[in-house]
Structure 1
Amino acid sequence: MNTHLPRRWAERRGLRLWPVGTVLALTFTAAVLVAVAVFYTGWELLGARGLKAEPRIESQTLFDLVKLSFGVVAGAGALVALVVAYRRQRVDEDGALREATRLHTERFTTAVAQLGEESAAVRLGGVHALAGLADDAPTRRLRQTCIDVMCAYLRLPYTVEADLPADNAQARHAYLALREVRHTIIRLIRDHLRLEEHPHSWRGHDFDLTAVTFDGGDLSKVHFGGGTVDFSDSVFCGSMVDFRGARFSGSTVDFSRVDFSGGTVDFSGSDFSAGTVYFRDARFSRGTVHFSGSRLGGGTQFSGSAIVFSGSEISGSTVSFDGAWFSGGHFFFDRVDFSGGTVDFNGSRFSGDVTVEFGASFSGSTVSFCRASFFGGMVNFSDAVFSGGLVDFRAAQFAVARVVFGGMVSGARFSGGRVDFRGAEGVAPINLVPTDGSPLPAGLSLPSTWHPSRT
């Protein structure tokens, strides 16, 4: 039986029909009103001022009145037949929906039972069965249920390879089998989020991936358009998790409190536009996270989004924005603790109406803005604290952008480490160079064109 039913049923929870008497009364009333409106319009268009009086009715006039009476009766009968046919169609459609839902539920129960089997092969069959059920779901709600079950499977407790007992072949085989099932779910999600204007696309649905352990997986070129995608409290460790070429447009994607503790997470060439992506309180303790790309094309695009890194801690990872384009939207790096590792903005471009807040603590990392271009928007370091490590602006270009290091109330604080602007070109950032000729703070190096007594 074909379960592909009209999209208008997606949110219908049951058939609701008015009493037939009420429907007929409303139908006749509407028909009379339409007839009166048509008659009045014709009357006005013809410019009629009254009716010609006929003291005696001729046989032709009487015959016309009889035809008119039969026409009214036939029209009323047609309206009744139309109402009855419409109600019958609605009942039939609802019956087809109920039957499709019943068959879907039976198949769903079987597929979920397969996920609970010990055999990895049976579990794989259950995963593919659930994906097929999501494609054939008669309502959007039932499709979301299938997606929820697959996401729930990924949230189950999981032991990564690094935590396996040493020299235990059986445990390793069980791990590899379970890993294949989990990565199959990730691939199915990827394939359905790549579909453009396709009835089997899962775009716009919600994906609850909270507290999932990712030891690899391919989500490249997916399109998160609409809906909510939640990776909060997840752990990325081990192998590479590939988000290259992903598009984040119109969705809310949450990486809050995520632990990047190993492996590589690659967002290179992704497009962050018209959506919200949270990395609040994320921990970058090991491994590499890429938001990079070529400046000549294919770089990660940040335009019109809100990207929030507030409260994150970078203590041992390499986080790269090399060659990224910041051309619009808001980016928050406030309360970020750069206490170790490397953060790379080399060759990045800040333009348009972008706003970037760096109210961060630079205490031990190497943060590089070498060859970065500040051509528009505002990049604000007013609340930054430079107490250790290296913040490198060498060969950066400062044009018409507003790069701010202080204000009337607060300003950047230099208490240690090195902040190097040597070789930078263009206009000096606001409130960076002392206006009273006082010496530069220790560790701050400026071009001679900005401050003759540079250190």
Structure 2
Amino acid sequence: MRPTPPREEPLRVMPWWLVLVGLLVAALLGWLVLDWLLGEADRAAQPDTRATLRIDAIRTGLTVVAGTGGGLALLLAARRQWIGERAQRHQEAVAAQDQAHRERVQAHAEAVAEAGQHHQERQAEAAEHDAAERRLTELYTSAVALLGNDNAAVRLGGLHALERLGQDNPAQRETIVAVLCAYLRMPAPEDDTRESEVRRTAQRVLTRHLRADDDAYWPGVRLDLTGARLDGFDATGCTLDDADLTGAVCAGTTSLVGATVRGRLALGATFADLACDDLRGDAEILLDRARITGRVSFDRADLAGGLSCRHATVARASFRGVTFHRTASFDAARFTDSATFREAVFLSGVSMDHATFTGYAGFRQTRFADLALFRWTEFGDQTWFERTRFEGAANFGRARFHGPVTFDGATFARRPLVDQARATAAGSHVWPEGTTVAPLDDDWLLLTGP
């Protein structure tokens, strides 16, 4: 806020009569002094002395008059000096006001010019943005239209056009990925080799941009492949965020080898083979109700999130050397051929209640750091818990062992619960120390605790 300049009083003009009065006062004062001095001189006795005194009296009177006039002259000079100084200050104030006004006018003009320039720039940017958006829309529309063409070669061109559009325009990647996933979710004609090639190309376009060590990486991409038909889906080394394959039908080998998974990985699909070796990440992995007709492998995986395989059906399963950081559930899962958990580490609880192992079930050198539940579990031809470590509670209540069982070298922090568990009477078994085994009939043995 600008300071308020001091208010100046209006300058008054000295009236002419004031100068006349001053002169009269000077003359009157001189006459009075002269009259007084002459009166004093006339009192002298000697004529010579009286004459001398009269001359001195006249001289003194004139001096008083001259002094008074000089005083008045000095007063007038001082007033002229004050008036001159005040006039100079007034001129300086007026000049400063004029300069401030010119500066304000200049600043206003510059502000108006700058605002106009910014407005023009915004208009130019808006026009350029609109043109770019129209161009992107046209390219996107054209590429999507190519995907609907009856010619497989044209559809391949549409896929590559979408990929190029996404590579050049990061803001469009989410939409393009959604379109590719939607294309894979659409019903595919049977025995159409050309369409199969188009779909495999769409899969490669997706996975090509999911590798974080590649310059073409598209971060934050989410795959919605629910109900899709996939053929040899290869996400080896990819980074997956919230990928969903629920209900998908996956022919060939689906590979997530060396992948990094985050968020949620839903694999409740039908697979011929599923390879997840060396998988890493904190994603919650869901294989609930998955159907794997061939082999599933998680060898050496490091699963920081939970794993759920409830009601899954698997032919051959391999979890060699897997580290489970959180609770794993295989409740009601069916392993129709073989399953191995050799050297796996369950740092949290694991539940295999009501699971079925038709063939080989191997838990050699497996470490259970917490609760291990095998209640009502059906074990098939061979069951191996050789040199297995149970560091928490282990419960085999009402489990059934249809073939040879060995707990040779197994260690238990607590005595395992085996009440009402049954084992076939045929074959040799090695039970945990303290387990009571009694014949139930000709075919079965009944296990009870101490």
The TM tier, using the shorter chain, reads 0.5 to 0.7
Gaps of 5+ in 1: 1-35, 40-50, 165-174, 293-298, 406-410
**Match for 1:318: what amino acid?**
R
Question: Contact between 1:398 and 1:429, CA under 8 Å: does it hold in 2?
Answer: no
Indicate the residue corresponding to 2:337 in structure 1. Answer: 341
Gaps of 5+ in 2: 9-85, 438-446
Q: What is the CA distance between 1:288 and its match in structure 2? A: 0.9
Q: What is the CA distance between 1:234 and its match in structure 2? A: 0.5
Number of equivalenced pairs: 356
Q: What is the CA distance between 1:217 and its match in structure 2? A: 3.0
Question: Contact between 2:338 and 2:360, CA under 8 Å: does it hold in 1?
Answer: yes
TM-score, with length taken from structure 2: 0.67
**Match for 2:176: what amino acid?**
C
Indicate the residue corresponding to 2:71 in structure 1. Answer: none
Indicate the residue corresponding to 1:168 in structure 2. Answer: none
**Match for 1:269: what amino acid?**
D
Could you tell me which of 282, 288, 305 is aligned with 1:280?
Answer: 288
Indicate the residue corresponding to 1:432 in structure 2. Answer: 417
* Helix, strand or coil at the partner of 1:186: helix
Q: What is the CA distance between 1:433 and its match in structure 2? A: 6.2
Question: Contact between 2:311 and 2:334, CA under 8 Å: does it hold in 1?
Answer: no
* Helix, strand or coil at the partner of 1:248: strand
CA 80–214 in structure 1, closer or farther in 2 if over 3 Å, else same: same
Indicate the residue corresponding to 1:417 in structure 2. Answer: 402
CA 440–146 in structure 1, closer or farther in 2 if over 3 Å, else same: closer
CA 447–195 in structure 1, closer or farther in 2 if over 3 Å, else same: same
Question: Contact between 1:373 and 1:396, CA under 8 Å: does it hold in 2?
Answer: no
Question: Contact between 1:424 and 1:447, CA under 8 Å: does it hold in 2?
Answer: no
The answer to whether the aligner puts 1:385 opposite 2:376 as a matched pair is yes
TM-score, with length taken from structure 1: 0.67
Question: Contact between 1:393 and 1:424, CA under 8 Å: does it hold in 2?
Answer: no
Q: What is the CA distance between 1:402 and its match in structure 2? A: 2.2
CA 93–253 in structure 1, closer or farther in 2 if over 3 Å, else same: farther
Question: Contact between 2:233 and 2:250, CA under 8 Å: does it hold in 1?
Answer: no
Indicate the residue corresponding to 1:300 in structure 2. Answer: 301
Question: Contact between 1:359 and 1:380, CA under 8 Å: does it hold in 2?
Answer: no
CA 339–99 in structure 1, closer or farther in 2 if over 3 Å, else same: same
Cα distance in 2, alignment partners of residues 452 and 360 from structure 1:
22
Deviation per CA, 1:63-87, whole angstroms, max 9, x where unpaired? 6776666556655555555555444
CA 337–349 in structure 1, closer or farther in 2 if over 3 Å, else same: closer
Cα distance in 2, alignment partners of residues 391 and 72 from structure 1:
96
Identity of aligned residues (%): 23
Larger radius of gyration: 2
Q: What is the CA distance between 1:187 and its match in structure 2? A: 1.2
Higher relative contact order (CA 8 A, sep 6+): 1
Cα distance in 1, alignment partners of residues 159 and 321 from structure 2:
39
Q: What is the CA distance between 1:114 and its match in structure 2? A: 2.2
Displaced runs of 4 or more, over 6 A: 53-66
Deviation per CA, 1:140-162, whole angstroms, max 9, x where unpaired? 2x3322222222221222356xx
Indicate the residue corresponding to 1:201 in structure 2. Answer: 217
Question: Contact between 1:371 and 1:393, CA under 8 Å: does it hold in 2?
Answer: no
* Root-mean-square deviation (Å): 3.6
* Helix, strand or coil at the partner of 2:328: strand
The answer to whether the aligner puts 1:230 opposite 2:231 as a matched pair is no
* Helix, strand or coil at the partner of 1:413: coil
**Match for 1:451: what amino acid?**
G
CA 441–288 in structure 1, closer or farther in 2 if over 3 Å, else same: closer
Question: Contact between 2:323 and 2:344, CA under 8 Å: does it hold in 1?
Answer: yes
